[in-house]
Amino acid sequence: METNGNKNENFIAETKSKKSSFTGKLGFVLAASGSAVGLGNLWRFPYLTAQYGGGAFILCYVLLAVFFGIALLMLEIGIGRKTGKSVIGAFPLLNKKFKWFGYFSVCIPLLIVPYYCVIGGWVLKYAWSFIVASEGLVGAGSTPAMTEGFFNSFITNPYAPLIFFLIFALVTVLIVSFGVKDGIEKMSKILMPMLAVLAVVLMVYVLCQDGSIKGLEFIFVPKVEDFSFNTLLGALGQLFYSMSIGMCIMITYGSYMKKEVSVKSSATQIAVFDSAFAFVATMIIIPAVFAFGAGEEALKTDGPALMFIQLTNVFNAIPGGGRFIGVLFFVLVFFAAVTSSVSLVEAIVAVLCEDNKMKRRTACLIVFGVIILLGSLSSLGFGVFSGFQIAGKGILDCFDFLANNILIPIGAIITCVFAGWCINKEIIPKEIGIDKNKWLNRYFNVIVKFVAPICIFIILITGLFITL
Ligand code: PHE
């Protein structure tokens, strides 16, 4: 192992191509946070918090994020920065036997991005509907039954969701085609701070409403009866999804990171930023449901529709400025979703363009083709193809299940086994900058070698067991 490691060191130094990179720490942290902060934070985290009973879920999430979310983020970024390669190149550079794993990893974003664009399209539709004040959705005259009907008739319509999905996918692919510095970094530098400001303004607005305090209680006071193995599993799955770990996205981003930027502090900042966003989103959506009268029951029953249906009701209940706030909110969610979908596409394009094998534009076109094909199936799965189901799941759900409940946990386990057992164990801690700190180094090793792979294995098995 030792000599293999040294040989690899030289090889890596020689082969590191002069690829474009993020200009500095801020650029990297913002772009990676842009990947992490997305529909997972604004749409998925609040409804999972609602479903799993509030405080208990939040507590599990925070503990898991602190104990191994940050370590896994550091690991992936460290592998990327060390090798300077996308997933296909990074693994064999450190251990030749792992070439296949790069190909495995890249299948995950390829499965996620098409349906991510479908949901991104829904968000776009809502942003648009608020801008043009669509009848039956926006305005004091729209009853909760009407807004629910609006949501259902939109997602089952054969054309409308397809059109919005295509626009969302096109925006994503165009941004990636401009390249790392000109596309992703520029966009993140503008959008991420804007997003943070918009979210905080909305949160303050909602928290100033009567009744919102009950929502805060729901979020922050854990109830003993809500702690269960399921809550822990839900929090763990959400952690991977939200921090974009387990599918090697952060390896690609790490490969664009300059040597002088600290992996350790960047990873910590990304984790804090990502969690903060999820909490702010939750502190908008959950207290709003209490303050505007939808009640605790709606939190439990609405599930994934929570953001779309309940918030629309909330915006409609606001006298005067509801439409304006609705536009702000859905535009914010749209920005967050685009920066995430961009990172998914970038991970695939980086593989296709590795060592100048393919032009960036050509790679983008190919990915766009795959997105159209698989995304159209997901979108039509709610209408024309609604009869097509596997184990009671529609097409979009099947892709989501395959990616999040099966492939991501497998990817995360293999990444840990790879770094913990199959390469020189000093390479990654050195790259991350924790090799001189005895305790931090030990902690990192224990998490990567034992704690993370074992816990993730439990999620995988239990997840499959519960659902199938
Ligand atoms: N982390 C993103 C979110 O919270 C989703 C995502 C997953 C993005 C995987 C990239 C890779 O929405």
Question: Residue 445 above 90 pLDDT?
Answer: yes
pLDDT of residue 333: 85
pLDDT of residue 180: 62
- Length of the chain, please? 468
Say whether 263 sits in a helix, a strand or coil. helix
pLDDT of residue 10: 46
**Ligand 1 centre distance from Cα of residue 115 (Å):** 12
Instruction: Name which of 50-64, 78-92, 322-336 the model is least confident about.
Output: 322-336
Pocket of ligand 1 (CB under 6 A): 35-36, 38-41, 112, 241-242, 244, 247, 249, 340, 343-344
303: phi then psi, degrees, rounded to nearest 5 = 55, -140
* Mutation test residue for ligand 1: of 39, 244, 249, the one with most atoms within 8 Å of CB: 244
**Ligand 1 centre distance from Cα of residue 319 (Å):** 35
CB of 122 within 8 A of CB of 169?
Answer: no
Name the token pair of 33.
């946070």
- Token pair 């997933």 is found at 87
Give the angle subtended at the CA of 24 by the CAs of 22 and 30, to the nearest 5°: 75
CA 50 to CA 304: how far, in whole Å? Answer: 10
pLDDT of residue 169: 97
Average pLDDT over residues 14-19: 45
CA 345, 106, 363, 379 torsion-angle sign: negative
DSSP classification of residue 422: S
Average pLDDT over residues 346-357: 81
Q: What is the pLDDT of residues 113-137, one digit of tens each?
A: 999 999 999 999 999 999 998 887 8
Under the banding of pLDDT at 50, 70 and 90, the label for residue 342 is confident
* Mutation test residue for ligand 1: of 175, 307, 343, the one with most atoms within 8 Å of CB: 343
Question: Residue 195 above 70 pLDDT?
Answer: yes
Spatial CB neighbours of 454, under 8 Å, sequence gap ≥ 6: none
Question: Residue 449 above 90 pLDDT?
Answer: yes
Helices and strands in the chain: count of H runs, count of E runs: 24, 0
CB of 300 within 8 A of CB of 50?
Answer: yes
**Ligand 1 centre distance from Cα of residue 361 (Å):** 23
Average pLDDT over residues 203-226: 90
Element (H, E) at 404: none
244: phi then psi, degrees, rounded to nearest 5 = 55, 40
First to last CA, the chain: 40
CB of 29 within 8 A of CB of 269?
Answer: yes
CA 159 to CA 167: how far, in whole Å? Answer: 13
Under the banding of pLDDT at 50, 70 and 90, the label for residue 3 is very low
CA 461, 463, 466, 468 torsion-angle sign: negative
pTM for this model (two decimals): 0.84
User: Going by CA atoms, what residue is nearest to atom 6 of ligand 1?
Assistant: 244
Under the banding of pLDDT at 50, 70 and 90, the label for residue 219 is very high
Q: What is the pLDDT of residues 92-108, one digit of tens each?
A: 999 999 989 988 988 88
CA 15 to CA 354: how far, in whole Å? Answer: 12
Rounded to a whole number, what is the largest CA-CA distance in the chain? Answer: 73
Under the banding of pLDDT at 50, 70 and 90, the label for residue 17 is very low
Question: Residue 24 above 70 pLDDT?
Answer: no
Name the token pair of 417.
């086994």
Spatial CB neighbours of 217, under 8 Å, sequence gap ≥ 6: none
**Ligand 1 centre distance from Cα of residue 36 (Å):** 5
Which has the closest alpha carbon to 125: 87, 155, 169?
Answer: 155
CB of 111 within 8 A of CB of 407?
Answer: yes
